[in-house]
Chain A
Amino acid sequence: MTGSMWDSLLRIDLSGRKAQAWPVPADLRMYLGGMGTGVKLLADEVPPRTDPLSPANKLILTVGPLTGTQAPMQPQSCIVTKSPLTDGILNCYAGGFLGAELKFAGLDGIVLEGRSPDWLLLLVEDGRVSFHDASPVLGKGTAETEAWMKSRFGQEVRTLSIGPAGERGVAFAGVFSETRTFGRGGAGAVLGSKRVKGLAVRGTRGVGVAQPEQFARLSTENLEQLKAACAEEYNLVGMFSRVGTGAGMGLVNGRGGLATRNHAFGQFEQAAEIDGYAYAKKFYTRAVACYGCPVHCGMLHKFRKADGSESWLRGPEYETMYSLGSEVCNGDPVTLAEASQLCEEYGMDTLTAGVTVAWALEMGEKGVVSEPGLTLSFGNREAILGLLERIGRREGIGDVLARGPRRAAEELGGLGVAMQIKNSGFAAWMPRRMKGTALAFATSNRGACHKRAPIGAEITGQIDMNAYEGKAALVKSIQDRVNAIFTLVSCRFHEFVTPAELYPRFVQAATGIALSLAEFERLGERIWNLEKLYNLGAGHTRAEDSLPERCFEPIKGPASEGAVIERAKFEAMLDEYYAARGWDRDGVPTAGKLRELGLERYASLGRPAPGPRP
């Protein structure tokens, strides 16, 4: 083993119901873990033209060198697979306790291969797997499925599951893990295509590190930084710890950057009714922490549904307050809570689900689409909830919407106002308001990604959010750095407090692998390029690194007045970004760049095979 890593992945062949430990080869170990391990494995083993819902796709669940250790805020695990939503490579993350439990089970990850003939629940105990009949929970929601697994396998197991949306192949079905979600890109549909309804993990092993004393010092230093941040009244992470991720919705709204009414407006009049403070004030609230996290940004809310029954809601997170709130003109926190809960029950990403619903509501108001029994208009509770149910069940118009906003618009019309990139719904930020974020959304390998964008600097006015200049290099550096951090599978909020130079020091103390900060970030760049090659091989072109037409029209509303993306300036910014990356004008990494990154042997990966995309 390499310090804190077991150097072992569990490969589970679902077709043959076999499993075996697979020793991680030396070249893969240099990708550290998490996203790095997943991306390299997928690139090596799943050809880019693979149908994402076929048995040939693989779902790779990984953890990193800091997972399961005493380092704070390292609870997450990562899924890498080929996305049924974008038809490109996907990486997505969830916190909670599953990651640490995988590590305690003596694993750096699990690779799910093939397709089971029957629906299964998997139980992994200290590296051994057993296969169980899933029929008692088939068709059940995610929370019910996970509760059933705990009752069957023991309350101490850590779980993940899919809901009916994943079973039915909704392209943005998520994988749910207790209070957290692998939301983006449709990993739930991939799991469903393999006929895996859920996974439970139990581990009893301790996790060592290469340099225990140094690691303990670093962990203490980092914990003190986080505690100080949490204690500061106006610190971002501190506010997350008190009211959750919806703490700053007011700022976004005040600066005209809160996407409203399918991104037509930049301010929502009822934002203060649905932000983090509103939920904390209106509902009984309980904070929940992930493994080893002093921040506890997760909020559980007890609320009364419109029918009078009481219920607990996991969330909503800020992104959901947008997608099922302002974006669909829903200022009612109860309707938002019920909508969020429907997404959880069916097992769907609230972001792409909300964006798709918003598009359908606009198309409904324009008379382009209709659905029996529903009046498709913004703010209409029955329409919002009804569309989500139809998507989850793939009934009526829901069957088309379940393919994602772009594919729905290609079939029904209104492509220019489908707020998506690579078919992935926009996260809660307005590209027209924030030009760096526009570039980050467009060039994101998984589509419209908010985790690797200069959002904080732009929305707080640290840099001019209207400027195009300087954004290309900034976006590249953020993408590379965050990719590197995602090899550790650190929580995204960890970096808000932690100095960048601490990461390679943590890596060395955990694994013994010595990296400078520049080498660490170069690893992130290598992974970014590998992802890009994969997407090119899948048939993506420069056209996929663009924005919907609505982004080239001015935002409506006073605080955002005149905010627009000028097409020529956007294209110039994209050229500048490609040049900064060492890519040609079509976004293809040059031979020199691949050589520099040690990726020469992957050059052919980026050449799409002839024939139609699956």
Chain B
Amino acid sequence: MKVVFELLALFRQKAGTGRLELELPAAPTVLAALRAAEGALGGQALLQGERLREGVLVFLREPRGATRRVFQPAEERVESGQALVLSTAMAGG
């Protein structure tokens, strides 16, 4: 299946694009999808072992737009119609 990644904030800046698409086996775990994304993003470290690297925020976006934070990437799957959103930090000031 085609997994869509939305790249926000620093990830968008580094990739030079706001969107990445990767072909992965059906319903991959978020962990597998992020490992694939690390390679496609030029070795960008998103993970520490099976956990998210500190400061990396990952959300699953539902088809109608709502987003939900992923804390345990090995325990969640990317279903058809969902997108993965990668971001860093919030904003302030």
By the criterion CB–CB under 8 Å, are A254 and B6 in contact?
yes
Bound CA span A235–B56, Å: 9
Bound CA span A233–B45, Å: 10
By the criterion CB–CB under 8 Å, are B64 and A558 in contact?
yes
By the criterion CB–CB under 8 Å, are A247 and B59 in contact?
no
Judge whether B42 is part of the interface by a CB distance below 8 angstroms: no
Q: Across the interface, which residues of B come within 8 angstroms of A281, CB to CB?
A: 13
Q: Which residues A522-576 have CB closer than 8 A to chain B?
A: 557-562
Q: Which residues B4-28 have CB closer than 8 A to chain A?
A: 6, 8-10, 12-13, 18
Q: Give the size category of A's interface with B.
A: 35 or more
Q: Which residues A266-280 have CB closer than 8 A to chain B?
A: 272, 275-277
Q: Across the interface, which residues of B come within 8 angstroms of A117, CB to CB?
A: none
Judge whether B2 is part of the interface by a CB distance below 8 angstroms: no
Judge whether B65 is part of the interface by a CB distance below 8 angstroms: yes
- Nearest to A466 among chain B residues (CB) is B66
By the criterion CB–CB under 8 Å, are A319 and B53 in contact?
no
Of the listed stretches A25-33, A146-154, A237-245, chain B binds A237-245
By the criterion CB–CB under 8 Å, are A461 and B10 in contact?
no
Q: How far is the CB of A606 from chain B (nearest CB, A)?
A: 33
Q: How far is the CB of B65 from chain A (nearest CB, A)?
A: 4
Fill in one digit per residue for B39-68: 1 if any A CB lies within 8 Å of its CB, else 0. Answer: 000000000000001111101010011111
Contact of A461 among B55, B68, B88 (CB under 8 A): B68
Bound CA span A281–B65, Å: 29
By the criterion CB–CB under 8 Å, are A277 and B9 in contact?
yes
Q: How far is the CB of A257 from chain B (nearest CB, A)?
A: 9
- Nearest to B14 among chain A residues (CB) is A277
Contact of B8 among A235, A240, A254 (CB under 8 A): A254
Bound CA span A483–B76, Å: 39
Bound CA span A209–B69, Å: 44
By the criterion CB–CB under 8 Å, are A317 and B93 in contact?
yes
Q: Which residues A66-86 have CB closer than 8 A to chain B?
A: none
Judge whether B29 is part of the interface by a CB distance below 8 angstroms: no
Q: Give the size category of B's interface with A.
A: 20 to 34
By the criterion CB–CB under 8 Å, are B55 and A250 in contact?
no
Q: Across the interface, which residues of A come within 8 angstroms of B65, CB to CB?
A: 256, 557-561
Q: How far is the CB of B86 from chain A (nearest CB, A)?
A: 9
Q: Across the interface, which residues of B come within 8 angstroms of A9, CB to CB?
A: none
- Nearest to A276 among chain B residues (CB) is B91
Bound CA span A44–B32, Å: 62
By the criterion CB–CB under 8 Å, are B87 and A251 in contact?
yes
Q: How far is the CB of B46 from chain A (nearest CB, A)?
A: 9
Q: How far is the CB of B9 from chain A (nearest CB, A)?
A: 4
Bound CA span A318–B93, Å: 6
Judge whether A297 is part of the interface by a CB distance below 8 angstroms: yes
Q: Across the interface, which residues of A come within 8 angstroms of B6, CB to CB?
A: 254
Q: Across the interface, which residues of A come within 8 angstroms of B53, CB to CB?
A: 234
Bound CA span A232–B88, Å: 12
By the criterion CB–CB under 8 Å, are A234 and B64 in contact?
no
Contact of A462 among B9, B10, B13, B69 (CB under 8 A): B69
Q: Across the interface, which residues of B come within 8 angstroms of A455, CB to CB?
A: 90, 92
Q: Across the interface, which residues of B come within 8 angstroms of A232, CB to CB?
A: 54-55
Judge whether A252 is part of the interface by a CB distance below 8 angstroms: yes
Q: Across the interface, which residues of B come within 8 angstroms of A561, CB to CB?
A: 64-66
By the criterion CB–CB under 8 Å, are A239 and B93 in contact?
no
Q: Across the interface, which residues of B come within 8 angstroms of A461, CB to CB?
A: 57, 59, 67-69
Q: How far is the CB of B44 from chain A (nearest CB, A)?
A: 10
Judge whether A255 is part of the interface by a CB distance below 8 angstroms: yes
By the criterion CB–CB under 8 Å, are A245 and B67 in contact?
no
Bound CA span A318–B53, Å: 25
By the criterion CB–CB under 8 Å, are B18 and A239 in contact?
no
Q: How far is the CB of B58 from chain A (nearest CB, A)?
A: 9
Judge whether A614 is part of the interface by a CB distance below 8 angstroms: no
By the criterion CB–CB under 8 Å, are B89 and A245 in contact?
no
Judge whether A385 is part of the interface by a CB distance below 8 angstroms: no
By the criterion CB–CB under 8 Å, are B67 and A250 in contact?
no
Judge whether B85 is part of the interface by a CB distance below 8 angstroms: yes
By the criterion CB–CB under 8 Å, are A239 and B92 in contact?
no
Q: Across the interface, which residues of A come within 8 angstroms of B56, CB to CB?
A: 234
Q: Across the interface, which residues of A come within 8 angstroms of B90, CB to CB?
A: 236, 248, 251-252, 455-456, 459-460
Using A254-B6, A317-B93 as known contacts, say yes or no to A234 and B13 having CB atoms under 8 A apart.
Answer: no
Q: Across the interface, which residues of A come within 8 angstroms of B59, CB to CB?
A: 254-255, 461
By the criterion CB–CB under 8 Å, are A254 and B85 in contact?
yes
Using A235-B54, A460-B69, A559-B67 as known contacts, say yes or no to A251 and B91 having CB atoms under 8 A apart.
Answer: yes
Q: How far is the CB of B49 from chain A (nearest CB, A)?
A: 16
Q: Across the interface, which residues of A come within 8 angstroms of B91, CB to CB?
A: 245-249, 251-252, 276, 318, 428
By the criterion CB–CB under 8 Å, are B93 and A297 in contact?
yes
Q: Across the interface, which residues of B come within 8 angstroms of A272, CB to CB?
A: 12, 18
- Nearest to B57 among chain A residues (CB) is A460
12 contacts between A and B (CB under 8 A): A232-B54, A233-B10, A236-B89, A239-B9, A248-B89, A248-B91, A250-B8, A254-B87, A255-B59, A256-B65, A461-B59, A561-B64
Q: A235-B55, A318-B92 are in contact. List 11 more A-B contacts (CB 8 A).
A: A232-B54, A234-B88, A250-B87, A251-B8, A251-B88, A318-B93, A461-B67, A461-B68, A561-B66, A562-B64, A562-B66
Rank and list the top 7 A-B pairs by shortest CB-CB distance, nearest first. A234-B55, A461-B69, A245-B93, A250-B8, A248-B91, A250-B9, A317-B93
Residues of chain A having any CB pair with chain B under 8 Å: 232-236, 238-240, 244-256, 272, 275-277, 281, 297, 317-319, 428, 455-456, 459-462, 492-493, 496, 557-562
